[in-house]
Amino acid sequence: MNLEVISQPLASIDADLLVVGIAQDGNLSPEAQTLNSEWSGLLDRVKAEGGFKGKAYELDWLYPTPGKARRALLLGTGKTSAYDVRTARRLAAIAVRQARNKRASRVAIALPAAGSVSIEQVVQAIADGAITGLADSDLYKDQDNKGEIENLQVVVAEGGEAASAALERGRKIAAAVNFGRWLGDEPANIMTPVRAAEEARRWASECGIECQVLGEEELREAGMGSLLSVADGSKYPPQVVVLTYNGGGGPTLGLVGKGVTFDTGGISIKPAADMHYMKYDMCGAAAVISAIGGIAQIGLKANVIAIAGMVENMPSGTATRPGDVVRAANGKTIEIINTDAEGRLVLADALDLARKRGAERLVDVATLTGAIKVALGDVATGAMGNNEEWTSQVLAAAKATGEALWPMPLYPEYTDKLKSNIADMMNTGGRFGGALTAGAFLQQFVGDTPWVHLDVAGTAYTEKDHSWQMKGATGAMIRTLIELARSNAE
């Protein structure tokens, strides 16, 4: 799909589909005002007749149109006070999905720069939303029934270098998000730890970053017994992917991801219902692998290292048992109470490795606990950390990209719940506050390095279709990590 920024009156645009954003408040953007005038007040009449209110994500079709466009789609942008980059991104995704359904190959879209959202942010959001909106999770279905959008024009009052740069930035961010979503959507019999490492190596080559893959023998030499214990029941060997980007600015940012390509729970096996969703247990690793590639493709002046621990958690005669004790690479011993609390065992050694490789700021991303989904549902990611200033910076990056992130506490009492009578700690702290005791466990492996843990168990994938995306992996936190690299470098 070709994307371009144009500055042209909407009524004069020759397209199969013209998409116009209309606010619920009743104020038309300057571009829409001109269109309304040239169309003899048609937009005013549509709203006055009561069929279209301009509520967020509301649609109304005009066909045929008085202008050159064959069809027009009015998209509600909602209340101006609530309009943000996420809304713009979703609107763009809705627009292209509707366009594809109508077999419109030439599409023009005009969304307002309103409230706190600048025109550059709108252009970036449209490019991002259009590209991610067309990427579906139906990887093994017949694709012949889908239309194709050949050209997408983003209409702005004034173009220029800033708008073109925003378009290109949105395109590169979308490519990173789609790569991460694809990694998660692939079934676990295909996206094994070995295959995931191979794809990370290919992605690194494409993005121009350094890639190292540590195999089982190297992991044993490094003393990474915590991570290795999770892979003991699988026929697939563990792989730790280390990606490095030296862009030249700020403290080195360490991104660490949980990459359990399938999680049965191990000996503490999960119920059969919905276990197929456990192919998404690698979405944290997919996020950090994708994000560092996006950072490199954009060319941010940042120094970043991304570490993804890729394993499969299976029950077998060689699997780790409840009650076993393992030693992590930092020397701490762990009594494994529940083999389904495996993600933290992977992250423990991966976080320690990131510090040893020079990370001065840490963020880990993991589908870590069902407890965070109980707390926050499928709307927001949970954040917890050991440094208030760093946590605030991560939260600010999420807000700038329109990703919902909510801070959670890490009081010392949560660490107390991990006490073991045989080892330095247990890998679980009981039923209550499960997301927080998991965070407290990870805190034991970061030392005094500023660190934030992002639990995406509720947001890494969606179990239902939305008008802007088919159900499947969402690419949660990839945009936030890219923005964080930018702000950290500054």
Instruction: Catalogue the long-range contacts made by 144-149 (C-beta closer than 8 Å, 24 or more residues apart).
Output: 146/100, 147/99, 147/100, 147/101, 147/102, 147/103, 147/104, 147/105, 148/1, 148/100, 148/105, 149/1, 149/96, 149/99, 149/100, 149/104, 149/105, 149/106, 149/107
Separation between Cα atoms, residue 271 and residue 2, nearest integer Å: 46
Tokens 């590169």 found at? 172
Work out the number of other CB atoms within 10 angstroms of the CB of residue 110: 24
Contact 147, 103 (CB under 8 A): yes
DSSP codes of every residue in 268-319: SPPPSTTGGGGGGGGHHHHHHHHHHHHHHHHT-S-EEEEEEEEEEE--STTS
**Joined tokens for residue 438:** 């998991």
Angle between helices 85-101 and 388-401 (to 10 degrees): 40
Least Cα distance to 311 among 374, 219, 401, 398 occurs for 219
Burial state string for 301-316 with b = 16 or more CB within 10 A and e = fewer than 16: ebbbbbbbbbbbbbbe
Separation between Cα atoms, residue 372 and residue 35, nearest integer Å: 47
Cα torsion angle, 363, 366, 368, 372, sign: positive
Residues facing 382 on adjacent strands: 406, 455
**Joined tokens for residue 81:** 């006070």
Question: Per the omega criterion (within 30 degrees of 0), is the bond before 238 cis?
Answer: no
Active site residues: 270, 344
Cα torsion angle, 345, 347, 350, 352, sign: negative
Tally of residues, the chain: 490
**Cα angle vertex 417, ends 411, 423, to 5°?**
125
Separation between Cα atoms, residue 380 and residue 123, nearest integer Å: 25
H-type alpha helices, 318-460: 343-356, 370-376, 388-401, 412-416, 434-443
Residue type, 81: S
**Joined tokens for residue 155:** 């209409």
